[in-house]
Structure 1
């Protein structure tokens, strides 16, 4: 699936948030216009602006960035005057996302505070609220990846080298990227210390929108303090793509996310084969009769990629977006050994990638969703 289509699909899951995603279509149009303007200037024999003029023109739009001026000077020296237009628009998009991120974070915690003060702090099931936080985290992650892809496209079309400098000195300093982990951690701590009551078992929930937290496509109901806590069993099957129970007769496969850590960086092992046509993929394994998904993940990873690994944790179940009646049980695995000779050696090539790079290059939507939760 092309990234633009995937971005639209994700954005449409929460219509109220759609306008706050990076306008990828606009950025691609600007890149084509920048290329056209550059070509026209070169054909006319006109010179590019000097570095000082470009440096003075480059507007950060109030975005946080690395201190100092050396990186900025190095960045603009590699760009044409036309390319500045692209970065200025990208800066505007990032500012829009930061503003929305701060607004939604503050709104969420303020509503929790109000509910507690009224003695009526409750929420949907813990499971549903986890999905809300996943949605918010995915919003930030998708926008970060879209910015990376836009920079890559710019550099490819304009034969430039701006991605690494801009990412290290601007993109990695944005609040929606640097603070989302802290926001989610704090939110989960609040939730874990609160009553967990499944919405379907609650009586007397308020329909007043003023008592609800707008969290994308779902709302959290405000419940009177007198509502009794009722025990419940979480549903056995979950579809993290659209939050509905899946049929019990669906085919299950194990999806492997083998990783290794180098310092502070996390790498994931992907594979390339004839079917992938040069696009990295994750290992997917069909379960044999009587085999658990966890055992299948360990076995399949050894057979397909020649890697011995142990399961670190279960990431969750994900409905396949490309194969009907298939659900993936995803596992994070710690790689212990890479064999030089294995069953599929002649057909499979191993490729280690940073997780963010894998998200940007993998095309299977289900795998992207899994990688975002690593």
Structure 2
């Protein structure tokens, strides 16, 4: 069939339009691109899901479960978690893991009697844990180390400080219960009565690890659920179905008096307390100070914290553990700074900076 001039022109225009459309679809600019799509990126190493739990058979015949995180040539820190925590509770501080690794801190934790993977023996006390921890450190080739103890880890830290004062280069006690002074009210309870009092809470980690809605830890992604997971591990890991016996045993150990003699400890001691803490009230800081030389103690108290002070100000604790106790972590503007203590105090007093990392205000 012959096309008129108009028909031939229309057909030519139509073909050109189709070619242009095809170019836009294929190349985005009217020309077909010869470049292949970019290669998807996949990392060359795994991200950590938290510390591995290791088992070590000790000379005592006991098996110690421990974790060891951070550079092997870093500053060794023995982390002692609060009551009702497994050896993996140190993972609850990983929200500042980048800072910890940047400071070169090596965190080691040893599990206590009856919790998590560790079998329960009612004959063991705080001194046995102290020896187990020292044996683990010996196996790792660690002589000098620092201690950070949280809440119910306080009495165990005191036991270690009395047993091996020359090996401890610094002692950090965060909302830590002291084995000195007045006993807690539950110390007058029978074991059966105390078991009945704690049974429901340890059976449901959401009760044991309950934080108020306005607690600062709720701003940490995944923190609350990580705490629940550790509670479940602590009381069910070996199929013990939340048996309250280890918890009752540990709490009764806290009632022992007198506490260990700390007079031979010459290392610096840092005390951290929250003004709102009703579990380990601020008055307990004075109880600790009575056992120590005044010139070796640094006290840090925080009006913004309750018993979670160890997490809310973990950034400052890390700085202190790394040997930068003369500096303070502050948020100024949109950036976190680590400033000389006096300068930081002026900025905070003038409301030109806030204590801690800027992460807390995001």
Instruction: Give TM-score, length-normalised by structure 2.
Output: 0.25
After TM superposition, the score normalised by the length of structure 1 is: 0.24
* Larger helix percent: 1
Considering only CA atoms, is the larger Rg found in Structure 1 or Structure 2?
A: 2
